[in-house]
Amino acid sequence: MSHRPKRLGALVAAAAAATLVVTGTVGGAVAPAQAAKGPAGAAGWLGNQLTEGLVYNGQFQFNDYGLTADVGIALDRLGGQPGKEAAVRKAMARNVESYITGVDFGSKDRYAGQTAKALVLAQATGGNPRSFGGVNLVTRLGSLTQSEGTTAGRIRDRGASDFSNSIGQSFAARGLSVARSPKAADAVAFLLKQQCSEGFFRLGFAPEGKRRQSCDQGDANLSVPDTDTTALAVINLSAIGKKSPAVKQAIADGVGWLRKAQKKDGSFGGGPTTEGSNSNSTGLAAWALGENDACTAAAKAATWVGKLQQGRGAIAYDRAAFDAGRDGIGTAEKDQWRRATAQAAPALVYRSTAACRG
């Protein structure tokens, strides 16, 4: 994701100064003051979900490193919370091996998608990606990126199972490109193979033994449209500094598909299992559109997301969740609210087309 709108961090900080960001627990009492809405409110609410820099899942009692990374990346994009952003960076560096390997479960697995997201988090939040908690994430991810054959550039988990997909591939393409890794060009090229001629990116890869690895060559069950994957691919490709003509075309085609997929009310559904309108998918799509000057479409999507934001700053997954959370968010529901807000909050900066074009 481009940091072109970094100046928006100052706007968010200014808005935060003029707005009370509630610091109590999600279901706690709200002080009698102006509601903490908009990007500043969302950033404040996300920051308040951290315990010593990590998102702790109270329902199942574990530190959620993947969601913590999402929160850190969102805070970087929103601006206005430098202390919380730094706390995420430091906490994730301390726990990086737990996130990117199976060491906590007694295994020696290495997870490519998690390593790619950790690399992007380190880069986005000012960490050293070549010594992040003592791990060189650039070389580690490079070792999980295949070097030859029809799957050259494809990331792959090392262990009993392989859970890699195009979302992780998009983070790898971005992270390796920003780091100027020799594996970057292949990682980008393999990601572009996952884009169908209609413009969307599919989620799953073809089996490794298949000679044909592109989306257009996949079967109907594998090469299905996926809003979240497409939006994240566009966002991550947009963050690559020097873009090849192929990358520029892929971004343009992805934006074109997102614009066609947008519903009349501005919202988006996700993939085959999340076809209903939701803030996660709509927020990511707005973010991708806004980063690429599709300002009217971005503003329409961001406005839809904004209608699901509580006065405390949190964003509901959908209207049913918003209505259910009017009287507070319980422990069992908090995870969904955190995930929705982390992915949807950056969209709020694009409610103004002026911000999109800034």
Where does the pLDDT of residue 43 fall: very low under 50, low under 70, confident under 90, or very high at 90 and above?
very high
Residues 165-186: pLDDT tens digits? 999 999 999 999 999 999 999 9
Question: What CATH architecture applies to the domain 4-356?
Answer: Alpha/alpha barrel (1.50)
Distance (Å, rounded) from C-alpha 183 to C-alpha 192?
A: 15
Residues 206-250: pLDDT tens digits? 998 888 999 999 888 889 999 999 999 999 999 999 999 999 999
Q: Are 206 and 212 in contact (CB under 8 A)?
A: yes
pTM exceeding 0.75: yes
pLDDT at residue 4 is higher than 60: no
Within 8 A by CB and 6+ apart from 182, the residues are 142
Q: Is 148 exposed, middle or buried (0-12, 13-18, 19+ CB in 10 A)?
A: exposed
Q: What are the boundaries of each domain within the chain?
A: 4-356
